[in-house]
Amino acid sequence: MNSITAFFSFLVLTFASLSGAHSSHANNIDVDAEIKNLSDKAPELSQKALHYALTAYKEAEKEGCVKNHVLTVIDYSLPSSKQRMWIFDINHDKLLYNTYVAHGKNSGLNVPTHFSNTNSSLETSLGTYITKDTYIGSKGYSLNLDGIEKGYNDHAYNRRVVVHGAWYVESDFIKNSGRAGRSWGCPAVAKSMAKPIINAIKGGSVLFAYYPDSDYLGHSAFV
């Protein structure tokens, strides 16, 4: 190899190395380190729920599903009277939103205890979702979700489980009623918050619905 060829080979290797070094933070996510970073910003989110959510995010990212490096964590072990939805900007270790979210009518009253992937069950489905496109429907500005865990939430799209706004998730309603209203399985948010939340998470981010369900946690390919 002459000196000119060697020089150009060096440039190619250096460029490749720099390109890798500048890859997305999400591509190199260290779950334990990220838990510490995000826990400081969301102290009321359990580290167990955050661990499962970040693990699922990492797996989805490995499969090429993640296009928008935002992670939404819903802790359904908490009552609907609590702000149990957290939305993080993973690239910048930033908490974007912490707010209320509904669960399915047949999953429980204030704290859900039943979960289903079955059509017309009116129950919440657990697991890892990828956000898709937006649309204007009967609930206004809404966001399609693709459940990517077979047997747990892969019927979500056909069930029309979407993110949408609802009056029964507004803080005033929750304060007066002692709990949020319930959806038909959708992770509905306050109508006044729907547009900024949907715009932040649309287009290929991860939404993770957590509950300490032994069947799901024991069999999920993502956690």
Give pTM, 2 decimals.
0.87
Look at the block and give the residue holding tokens 């009116």. 122
| 142: in domain | yes
Q: Which residues of the chain have pLDDT under 50?
A: 3-26
pLDDT at 86: 98
pLDDT at 85: 98
| 173: in domain | yes
Across-strand partners of 120? Answer: none
Q: Could you give the strand order of the β-sheet that contains 85-89, starting from the edge strand earlier in sequence?
A: 94-99, 85-89, 70-75, 206-210, 127-137, 140-147, 162-166, 189-190
The whole domain housing 104 covers 30-219
Looking at the 3D structure of the chain, how many domains does it have? 1
**C-alpha pair distances (Å), 25 with each of 16, 22, 71, 131, 132:** 17, 8, 13, 20, 22
pLDDT at 76: 98
pLDDT at 165: 98
pLDDT at 200: 98
Tokens of 66: 């993640």
| 22: in domain | no
| 16: in domain | no
pLDDT tens-digit series, residues 7-56: 444 443 444 443 333 334 445 588 988 999 999 999 999 999 999 999 99
CATH number of domain containing 199: 2.40.440.10
pLDDT at 23: 39
pLDDT at 5: 45
| 109: in domain | yes
pLDDT at 201: 98
d(CA 30, CA 120): 38
| 149: in domain | yes
| 18: in domain | no
pLDDT at 29: 80
| 41: in domain | yes
pLDDT at 2: 52
